[in-house]
Chain A
Amino acid sequence: MVSESLIEIEGLNFSYGQRPILKGIDMTMERGKVIAIMGGSGSGKTTLLRLIGGAVRPTSGYVKVAGEVVHKLKRDDLFRMRRKMSMLFQFGALFTDLSVFDNVAFQMREHTDLPESMIRDLVLMKLQAVGLRGAHELMPTQLSGGMARRVALARSIALDPLLIMYDEPFTGLDPISLTVIGNLIRRLTDALGMTSIVVTHDVQESLKIVDYVYFIADGVIAAHGTPDEVRRSVAPFVHQFVHGEEDGPVSFHYPAKPYAQDLKLEGSFA
């Protein structure tokens, strides 16, 4: 039987130095779906994407993409796999020495032998999809933050990959672009049969377009379910997150010593 899931993650642990970031993550992501990953700032969402892409190695556990364990692949095989996936970086990561056009054309020129005339048509099509065809001659420094992210989005869909990981595609977008980009992600996934992983803080917008949601907190999956289940959930964690409340199981603070101790309050009366 052919497995329908594109990504299988089991018992995934990861730490930066001594600090554990992910502590035993299990996930499965089916082909052709849009999956959202949500969680507080610093909870390890970007790290999880980097693990899926093979940019960092897990301390234990594994990520399987299309049946292959990512961190066991040799460099050549990893690169072969990466041609099928793409990642929208949290801060865009556009190549500053290339124009908008050349950024989007980059992978076509590196990985294909397409004639320049066809590359031109493809690039303009991708830019049209994000509404920036008119900006193709600009350099990345001439773009606003939101425009840069849209160009990065166009670049990440340049070769119609099987898997796209979007690291916060909605930040810095106005409400109109936000809806357009959200629908674009949905449409690409449906039309091309690709799988999308969307890391986002934008609960309301993403619930409209995704098929499944994972919540990460304290290095583990705190909750998961379909958008309907999430909306109806009474779990304190999900409720706090969906409604953006300050008090609840999610801590707003980075782990620290007790506040009083840091301010050197104890002993000051001695």
Chain B
Amino acid sequence: MPRRIVAGIQSVGHRVIDSIWRLGYASRFFLLTLIKSGTSLHRFTLVIRELYFTGVQSLIIILVSGLFVGMVLGLQGFETLQRYGAESAVGTMVALSLLRELGPVVSALLFASRAGSAITAEIGLMKATEQLAAMEMMAVDPIARVVAPRFWAGVISMPLLAALFSAIGVYGGYLVAVILIGVDEGSFWSQMQGAVDFRYDVVNGIIKTCVFGIAVTAIAVFEGYDAAPTAEGVSGATTRTVVTSSLAILGLDFILTSFMFRGMG
């Protein structure tokens, strides 16, 4: 019996040590990516190419989802607010929910599953087919040439995608509340304009999306680079990217929210 307990404790210990080791390895990789970003900033066309793949290719899913989320918010908001006779505040509700929470969080989740997984799969496949090794043999650093441009493209496109998500979401709320249900258009917009604070709501939302963008892309490039060079290795890494970055987004969102929004005085 004691042997079993010892073995149990040992295996827990191993796992803890392993995950801490991996975390350290990932942090080191992240730092290396930052240090070796010179090439991508110097030759910005490398980043632009990746912006197309991560940013532009994610546009459709971000726009469609944003529209629907906004429409649902309009419906639910109207349904609840009209009980208190405050249906003209539906615009405020839609805008604040999107800017503070749903815009950053949902677009980051979509971004992780659309672009993050693609980044991981691409880098993982490049590793599995020895493309990264070949690059090393050509005296070209794969972190500078392959990882860093993808990282920066992700970091740049995430806030832009989230902004589009929120903008089209507000439009979706407008479609439902004003066009469909018939809330007064003037009060819809003017209440929204009055209630949304640029510094408090918009800037905080942007900060969130930047943090999410860094987290998701850093996880995606690391998982790709660290993938076992086989088909299973790459598919496992892709799954881990989506799972880890979704958890990271939600966890970070809670932390950031608790710092940012403590109720306006």
Contact = CB atoms under 8 A, between A and B. Distances in A.
Interface residues of B, number: 16
B229 to A, nearest CB: 12
A83 B140 CA distance: 9
Contacts of B57: none
Q: Which of B135, B136, B138 has the most CB of A within 10 A?
A: B138
Contacts of A97: 122
Interface string B46-86: 00000000000000000000000000000000000000000
Contacts of A194: none
Interface in B128-152: 129-131, 133-141, 145
B129 A91 contact: yes
A86 interface: yes
A116 B131 CA distance: 24
Contact of B134 (A83, A87, A111): A87
Contact of A89 (B125, B134, B145): B134
Nearest to B53: A97
A83 to B, nearest CB: 5
B133 A89 contact: yes
Interface residues of A, number: 20
B34 interface: no
Interface string A89-119: 1010111110000000011001100000000
Contact of B138 (A94, A96, A107): A107
B126 interface: yes
A23 interface: no
| Binding site secondary structure of chain B | helix
A96 to B, nearest CB: 7
Contact of B125 (A79, A80, A96): A96
A208 B153 CA distance: 51
A110 B133 CA distance: 16
Contacts of B134: 87, 89, 93, 95
A82 interface: yes
A97 B135 CA distance: 13
A95 B131 contact: yes
A107 B140 contact: yes
A93 B133 contact: yes
A83 B139 contact: yes
B119 to A, nearest CB: 12
Contacts of A138: none
Contacts of B137: 53, 55, 82, 85-87
B218 to A, nearest CB: 21
B130 A91 contact: yes
B129 A110 contact: no
A243 B122 CA distance: 43
B130 A89 contact: yes
Contact of A82 (B129, B138, B145): B138
A93 B126 CA distance: 8
Nearest to B49: A97
Nearest to B135: A95
A96 B139 contact: no
A96 B128 CA distance: 12
Interface string B102-137: 000000000000000000001001100111011111
Q: Which of B129, B130, B133, B134 has the most CB of A within 10 A?
A: B134
Contacts of B141: 79
Nearest to B50: A97
A107 B129 CA distance: 19
29 contacts: A53-B137, A55-B133, A55-B136, A79-B139, A79-B141, A82-B137, A82-B139, A83-B139, A85-B137, A86-B137, A86-B138, A87-B134, A87-B137, A89-B130, A89-B133, A89-B134, A91-B129, A91-B130, A93-B129, A93-B131, A93-B133, A93-B134, A95-B131, A95-B134, A95-B135, A96-B129, A107-B140, A110-B138, A110-B145
Given A95-B126, A95-B131, A106-B138, 16 more contacts: A79-B139, A80-B139, A82-B137, A82-B138, A82-B139, A85-B137, A86-B138, A87-B134, A89-B130, A89-B133, A93-B133, A93-B134, A95-B135, A96-B129, A107-B138, A110-B145
Interface of A: 53, 55, 79-80, 82-83, 85-87, 89, 91, 93-97, 106-107, 110-111
